[in-house]
Amino acid sequence: MLEVNEVTKQKGRDHFDTTVEYKRCKDGDRQLFTATDSCVKAAFCWTQQDYQYPASFFTLNVPVCVICKPFWDVCIDDGEVSEPEVRQRGYQTNLYPSHPRPQEAMALVWTVDEMAQLVVALDSLFAWFHDELKNPDSAK
């Protein structure tokens, strides 16, 4: 992760000079990965809580890591590093230890400015999920 530091100095009455400095965060990607790990663990925890109830039901747990600023996405395919792109939203997948076997989990990474679109998308997903459960034959 990179830290952005903008320093604005006044040069004259109406002229300002802004210097932008990029440097690597002292703890690297730790903050982002800790936040993403936390949202996935919370989803797993709530899933386990759901299994404590004897009634039949369905749940849809979506881990979301909300960040305050856009991020740079750099794709690495076959050892080739692509050009970085600024993103407002994305996802990360990891294999997590779980009982009885590891599970692959995906977490959404979303900026706070795009939360309204995320809520609309999740509402639509929930409505689709609900309709599929009411009419399982329509999926064929």
- The range of the structural domain enclosing residue 104 comes to 2-139
**Which tens digits make up the pLDDT trace of 13-72?**
888 888 888 777 777 778 888 888 899 989 888 888 888 887 777 778 899 999 988 888
The total number of structural domains in the chain stands at: 1
H or E element in which residue 110 lies: strand 103-111
The pLDDT score that the predictor gives to residue 15 is 84
The pLDDT score that the predictor gives to residue 94 is 84
Q: Does 32 or 114 have the greater pLDDT score?
A: 114
The pLDDT score that the predictor gives to residue 139 is 53
| Residue found by looking up tokens 């604005």 in the block | 8
Q: In terms of residues, how long is the chain?
A: 140
16 is written with which tokens?
A: 């300002």
The pLDDT score that the predictor gives to residue 2 is 61
- From the centroid of its chain, how far is CA 98? 21
User: SS3 sequence, 23-57?
Assistant: EECCCCCHHHHHHHHHHHHHHHHHHHHHCCCCCCC
* pLDDT(138) > 70: no
Contact 107, 64 (CB under 8 A): yes
The pLDDT score that the predictor gives to residue 56 is 76
Q: What is the pTM of this model?
A: 0.69
CB atoms under 10 Å from CB of 49, counted, come to 10
**Which tens digits make up the pLDDT trace of 88-104?**
999 988 888 877 888 88
